[in-house]
């Protein structure tokens, strides 16, 4: 980052969260989303041996990085990749690629005796997966949890030997009909100043804040886009599971859900457009039906993820994910004016550098 950037990059030991160093980070962009890992990329300049010795303490897979703005933590995650590079003129840099803390679950597999939850609230199961996973990695990998409840109970199990990735188990559970959302929140404890990494759950949606954020064009909105994509949507859906056939000598066919159909879209003039998904570890028909129904509900007809780009001024809070934004646009397309409410489901931030303003791209869905 340039010296005049409002952001500060803090590098910490992943397990203990002890600060290793605060180093300059240039060419930065970072993002965060509900239900999937966000990313960060940037470059640490290495102008001399003193800085090189400090940068050597940044280790891929063992180092966390936080971005702080105005005393608030805006992003936190794990450095997974580093690239030491020397230019033709001998200029040294270390490029880093990091992902939010939920990415850790994508690198762990269920290798315990059969993990069984019978008639348990799905949010308790989600927390249980994380607690079981981090207990295996040592008590110092500290994650905090809320006490959210959904009143939706599930019966699920995973077996040792299936090599199920924890993140896949979490995503599978969240994607069931009447499922939930998750996100990792990073912030400072207002009393101790300690950095907190919290697994945040929401049923059926994650929502933040009691009041709407207001964005206008003309005004703080720099640009916007409303992409409608019928190649990602559909009017029917089927989910495939594992094969019920235990005889290796005969043909194996997967268990298939009942077809789910958006009859209202067909009546409105849509053609048949098929969606399909594979869930190789599911052997329950009702679960497959629920997955197919949830997939169709999520991708009915054409998929649209509106986005707006805004100036990131002092009035924009760090906890944007889950907030409701009121969008007001007046232009040639919206000559009568658009006034609509959307929930923020993703954020991509580009810090200021070399005269470039501090901007955020907000990804939206109808509130």
Query: DSSP 3-state assignment of 356?
Result: strand
* 127 & 167 share domain: yes
Mean per-residue pLDDT of the chain = 91
Residue 2 within a domain:
no
- Asked whether the whole model's pTM tops 0.85, one would answer yes
Q: Is residue 273 part of a domain?
A: yes
Structure confidence at residue 281 (pLDDT) = 76
Whether 88 and 133 share a structural domain: no
Q: What is the band of 2 on the pLDDT scale with cuts at 50, 70, 90?
A: very low
CA dist list (Å): 365 to 183, 186, 204, 235, 327: 16, 23, 14, 20, 12
Mean pLDDT value across residues 87-97: 94
Do 360 and 221 have their domain in common? yes
215 and 346 housed in the same domain: yes
Same domain, yes or no, for 36 and 157?
A: no
* pLDDT given at position 217: 95
pLDDT of residue 24: 93
Task: Tell which of 77, 101, 125 closes a domain.
Answer: 101
Domain-embedded: residue 1? no
Residue 314 has pLDDT above 90, yes or no: no
Tell me, yes or no, whether 327 lies in a domain.
Answer: yes
HSE on the CB side for 346, CA within 13 Å?
A: 17
Q: Are 175 and 291 in contact (CB under 8 A)?
A: yes
Question: Is residue 161 domain-shared with residue 63, that is, in the same domain?
Answer: no
pLDDT for residue 164 is more than 70:
yes
Q: What is the mean pLDDT of residues 325-342?
A: 96
Average pLDDT over residues 116-139: 88
Clarify whether residues 123 and 198 are in a common domain: yes
Residue 134, domain member (yes or no): yes
Average pLDDT over residues 210-238: 94
Q: Are residues 92 and 29 in the same domain?
A: yes
Same-domain pairing of 39 and 91: yes
Domain total of the chain: 4
pLDDT score of 3: 43
Structural domain range at position 85: 7-101
pLDDT in tens, 22-52: 999 999 999 999 999 999 999 999 999 999 9
Q: Is 128 found in the same domain as 170?
A: yes
* Mean pLDDT, residues 122-148: 86
CATH of the domain at 28: 2.30.300.10
Long-range Cβ contacts of 351-356 (<8 Å, 24+ apart): 351/1, 351/5, 351/6, 351/7, 351/28, 351/29, 352/2, 352/4, 352/5, 352/6, 353/1, 353/2, 353/5, 353/26, 353/27, 353/28, 354/2
Q: Are 148 and 187 part of one and the same domain?
A: yes
pLDDT recorded at residue 37: 96
State the pLDDT at residue 5: 61
pLDDT over 90 (residue 313): no
One domain, residues 214 and 96: no
> Does the pLDDT at position 163 exceed 80?
yes
Tokens of 21: 């160093």
């Amino acid at each position: 980052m340039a010296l005049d950037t409002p952001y500060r990059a803090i590098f910490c030991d992943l397990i203990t969260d002890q600060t290793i160093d605060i180093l300059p980070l240039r060419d930065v962009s970072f993002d965060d989303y509900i239900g999937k890992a966000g990313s960060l990329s940037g470059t640490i300049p290495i102008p001399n041996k003193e800085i090189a010795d400090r940068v050597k303490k940044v280790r891929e897979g063992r180092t966390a990085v936080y971005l702080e703005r105005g005393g608030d933590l805006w992003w936190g995650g794990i450095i997974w990749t580093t690239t030491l590079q020397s230019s033709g003129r001998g200029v040294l840099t270390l490029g880093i690629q990091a992902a939010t803390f939920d990415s850790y679950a994508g690198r762990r597999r269920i290798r315990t005796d059969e993990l069984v939850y019978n008639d348990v609230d799905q949010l308790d199961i989600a927390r249980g997966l994380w607690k079981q996973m981090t207990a295996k990695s040592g008590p110092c990998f500290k994650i905090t949890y809320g006490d959210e409840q959904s009143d939706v109970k599930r019966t699920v199990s995973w077996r040792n030997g299936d090599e199920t990735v924890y993140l896949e188990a979490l995503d599978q559970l969240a994607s069931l009909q009447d499922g939930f959302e998750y996100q990792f929140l990073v912030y400072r404890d207002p009393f101790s100043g300690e950095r907190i990494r919290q697994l945040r759950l929401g049923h059926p949606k994650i929502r933040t804040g009691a009041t709407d954020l207001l964005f206008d064009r003309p005004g703080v909105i720099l640009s916007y886009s409303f992409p409608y994509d019928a190649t990602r949507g559909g009017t029917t859906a089927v989910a495939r599971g594992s094969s019920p056939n235990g005889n290796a000598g005969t043909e194996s066919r997967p268990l298939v859900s009942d077809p789910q159909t958006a009859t209202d879209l067909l009546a409105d003039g849509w053609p048949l457009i098929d969606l399909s998904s594979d869930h190789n570890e599911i052997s329950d028909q009702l679960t497959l039906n629920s997955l197919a129904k949830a997939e169709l509900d999520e991708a009915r007809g054409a998929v649209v993820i509106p986005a707006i780009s805004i100036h990131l001024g002092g009035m924009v809070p760090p906890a944007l994910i889950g907030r409701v934004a009121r969008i007001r646009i007046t232009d040639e397309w919206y000559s009568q004016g658009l006034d609509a409410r959307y929930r923020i489901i993703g954020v991509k931030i580009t810090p200021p550098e070399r005269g470039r303003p501090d901007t955020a791209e907000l990804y939206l869905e109808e509130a």
